[in-house]
Amino acid sequence: MKWVTRERVKVDRVACPWLIKKFVDPEAEFLFVPKESVLEVAEREKAIPFDVPGVELGHHEGKCSFEAIVEKYRIEDQAIHLLAKIVHGADVIQDLYGRPEAAGLKAIAEGFQHLGLKDDHDILAKEFIVYDALYAYCQQVVFDA
């Protein structure tokens, strides 16, 4: 399936593709386009839009797109629920959860913007390991609880 969102990925637009690939659609293909083109490209390419205003898999009721995907696809993994709180804190100005890891994730996401990587796909390829590690951390936190 194709998925489409805004170009110049940061926190939520890296976390969502990671989540989609790992838990929703392992064969997902991601399209990154200018903000004003997302809905047009979604219709033309029959792609699922995410992390843009006015779509189902976007920000709603103070929650981020990662949380919308967890909810829609009924991902019950408790480590993912913890990761969602961290992603939320790194992405949303009004942090609902106060997870201390969120500030570090935000700094890492900002840092990737300054590495001079080729494009959004290159950022995903490099940054997915960060989410793999953060998910492993969350699994351990949940396991130890």
Return averaged pLDDT per consecutive 10 residues of the chain, 145 residues in all.
Answer: 96 97 98 97 98 96 96 98 98 92 95 91 96 98 88
Q: What is the pLDDT of residue 94?
A: 87
Q: What is the pLDDT of residue 119?
A: 95
- Spatial CA neighbour of 136 closest among 98, 70, 86: 86
Give pTM, 2 decimals.
0.95
Q: Determine the Cα–Cα distance for residues 16 and 121; give it in Å rounded to an integer.
A: 13
Residue holding tokens 């991902």?
75
What rounded mean pLDDT belongs to the chain? 96
Q: Would you give the end-to-end CA distance of the chain in angstroms?
A: 36
Q: Determine the Cα–Cα distance for residues 59 and 65; give it in Å rounded to an integer.
A: 5
- For 114, list phi and psi in degrees, rounded to 5: -105, 10
Q: What is the pLDDT of residue 139?
A: 97
Q: What is the pLDDT of residue 45?
A: 98
Q: What is the pLDDT of residue 82?
A: 98
Q: What is the pLDDT of residue 97?
A: 94
Contact in structure between 120 and 9 (CB atoms under 8 Å):
yes
Buried b (16+ CB within 10 A) or exposed e, 97-117: eebebbeebbeebeebeeeee
Express each pLDDT in 51-84 by its tens digit.
999 999 999 999 999 999 999 999 999 999 999 9
Q: What is the pLDDT of residue 48?
A: 98
Q: What is the pLDDT of residue 121?
A: 96
Q: Which two tokens stand for residue 83?
A: 């990761």
Q: Determine the Cα–Cα distance for residues 124 and 122; give it in Å rounded to an integer.
A: 5
